Structure 1
Amino acid sequence: MELLSANQYISSYIIQSQEEEIKRIALELHEGVGQNLYSLYTGLQLIETGTEQPQLKSYIQEMGRLMERTIQEIRLLSVELHPPSLSALGLLPAVKSYAKLYTSTFGIVVESESTGEEQSIPEQRNIAVFRVCQEALANAAKYADTSRVKINFFWEEKGLKIVIKDFGRGFNYEECNHGRLSGLAAMKERMLLAGGGCVISSKIGEGTTIEISLPLNGDSGDQRRVCIDKNSAC
């Protein structure tokens, strides 16, 4: 066990502040901009019923379809930024809900399995784990060239382990581009600050596996301390 350094405290504070702002923006998109657009959409429908000019009617219908797509995109963006189910229902339902959105967006099937009894996780740590799962899925869509991802949750009394496997092309760490390296480093940093760990392994032609671990009780749950996994690779 090692105490968090001053830099890690700062990183933790920055991430927490960012998440609060993201949550606020997501709520505003859904309940502010989204609701306003929906009101305009219903107004367009009312105008459409009151006009007899075919050309104008066709134009209003096209505008209505465009607005409908925009409303849907805003809703999806809001859920991606901060899924309401994460706070209301917990980590597992939130990941499953996001997986459905992910599949409809990228066409990649996400299989999820859960072993053991799901446990309650403090909000900040819940968000950290969800963001790492989200980043892992995003990386699979960007780089893996795969049609299938599997997520396994293993719930135990003292900890949670999540294994994410993409069955894609795999990669060589030494040849990673900067963007990908930054994403991997961010995942590991998030889990470190949450008191857990993140181990990433990959083989060319066999895909990439991400193992997330998070203690669920005892002293390891104190965010002033973290477990350092000396064997964690890229």
Structure 2
Amino acid sequence: MACQIRLDADNTLRLPYVSEGCFALLGVVPLELELHPELLLDMLHPEDRDTFYKSMQESIAQPTPWNWEGRIVLPQDGEIKWVNLRATRRETDSHGTVWEGFMVNITQNKLAQQEIKTSRQRLRELSSHVENIKEEERGRIAREIHDEIGVLLTALKMDMAWLAQRLPQGGSALHEKVQAMSDLLDTAGSSANNLVHNLRPAFLDCFGIVAAIEIEAKEFTKRTGIPCKITKSDDDIELPDEQSIALFRVFQEILNNIMKHAAAKQAKIRILKTGEYVYLAVSDDGKGFDKTSRNKPHSFGLRGIQERIKHLGGGVEITSEPSKGTQISVSVPLNDAGLQQTFYFDQAIK
């Protein structure tokens, strides 16, 4: 619908010209709308009426084109349509302001956007549900390994010790064989403990997220030789189970990326409680990467971090440049009712 809009000095809105497209869009013939411009104002959705007038006043004050997007409610049947008004300001004088432009129906675009948004939210919820199921299954397997295989290995170790005490003194080959079997049992026990730790770190449940991160960082340093400097605001930060395990898994993924890709000489870790959020930042002095590398099709690690944290109502910020290292900053709410927000980690901790 093409139109000319005039706002008089007394703030009376007029429509000197409206095209034939008026009827298809608003269900009103052009002449009727030209004679009664208040019909358009009455159609404005109550929740969008303020933005209509605000955008009009901004166009007058700037001066800039008038661009408004909102809903109208057709009086005939109550149908709601999304419309976009784009109008160029032609003149402003003592008698008022005149715009010329178009009002178009964008309902289908809005519905498509809403469908995409809903689909993304459902996928995020499904992904979170899958992660929760995986964590539950990991916990179950870890308990079974600890309670059953761990007990069996301990019993075998005791039996081997009993057998070693009863071997004849002159049988050196037998003693060596028993010792070798005992060493294998020690290796199996160590492997079982590592497996239990990877499936579900017990110290996360026992000591909390801060201690878990400290212990994981020490283990990382042992495996890789990369020193980690940790800064913390509290020795103990209480988090719901879902937030706690998600933050810990994200931390593990970041350390894994440093080990595989960064070629770093050191890493710095900050975990701070600020307001209603816990902030975790991990930085390294490694190779870094550019935006192109970050958006590669198979960069599932970083995407998984972003999706997991976003579902919890937190935020992720990734800063990296080639040869200048990388910093990944993550925030999660202290409770389950956290709202999604964009944050800047450095500002949050100042």
Q: TM-score range by the shorter chain?
A: 0.7 to 0.9
What is the match of residue 128 of structure 2? 12
Percent of pairs identical after alignment? 28
Cα separation, partners in 2 of 1:120 and 1:147, compared to 1, 3 Å: same
Aligned equivalents of 2:161, 2:175: Cα separation in 1: 10
CA RMSD of aligned residues (A): 2.5
**Offset from partner CA, 1:135-184 (integer Å, 9 cap, x none):** 101111111122422111121122111110122122234246665x1111
Aligned residues: 225
Answer 1 or 2: which has greater strand percent: 2
Task: Check conservation: 1:117, 1:155, Cα contact below 8 A.
Answer: no
Question: Of 224, 227, 231, which residue of structure 1 is paired with 2:340?
Answer: 227
Output the amino acid matched with 1:25: I
For residues 13-65 of structure 1, the C-alpha deviation after alignment (integer angstroms, 9 at most, x for no partner) is 11111110011112222222122112212211221222131112111111211
Unaligned residue ranges in structure 2 (runs of 5+): 1-116, 345-350
State how 1:46-57 maps to structure 2 within 5 Å: 46-52=162-168, 53-57=171-175
Asked whether the equivalents of residues 209 and 237 of structure 2 are also in contact (C-alpha less than 8 Å), the reply is no
Match of 2:183 among 54, 65, 81: 65
Cα shift at 1:132: 0.3
TM-score (norm 2): 0.59
Q: 2:155 aligns with which of 33, 36, 39?
A: 39
The residue number in structure 2 matching 1:165 is 283
TM-superposed CA distance for 1:118, in Å, is 4.3
Residue ranges of structure 1 left out of the alignment (5+ in a row): none
Counterpart Cα distance in 2 of 1:115 and 1:202: 25
Question: Given residue 131 of structure 1, which amino acid in structure 2 is its aligned partner?
Answer: R
Alignment of 1:83-102 (within 5 A): 83-102=201-220
Residue 8 of structure 1: how far off its partner (Å): 1.8
CA contact (8 A) 2:277 2:332 kept: yes
Q: Compared with structure 1, are the counterparts of its residues 173 and 67 closer, same or farther at alpha carbon in structure 2 (3 Å cutoff)?
A: farther
TM (norm. structure 1) is 0.86
- Counterpart CA distance in 1 for 2:343 and 2:331 is 14
| Secondary structure, aligned partner of 1:36 | helix
SS at 1:199 equivalent:
strand
Deviations 1:168-217 (A, max 9, x none): 122234246665x1111111111111111122222222221110112325
The one-letter amino acid paired with 2:330 is I
The corresponding residue for 2:304 is 186
- Whether the 8 Å CA contact 1:23–1:82 is kept in 2: the answer is yes
Larger Rg: 1 or 2?
Answer: 2
**Aligned partner of residue 238 in structure 2, secondary structure:** coil
More RCO (CA 8 Å, sep 6+): 1
Q: Within 1, Cα distance between the matches of 2:151 and 2:221?
A: 26
Partner of 1:9, secondary structure, is helix
1:210 maps to 2:328: yes
Mapped contact 1:110–1:148 kept (Cα < 8 A): yes
Question: What displacement does 1:103 show?
Answer: 2.2
SS of residue in 2 equivalent to 1:5? helix
- Partner of 2:285, secondary structure, is coil
Q: Give yes or no for the alignment of 1:25 onto 2:138.
A: no
| Counterpart position of 1:197 | 315
- State the SS of the aligned residue for 2:281: strand
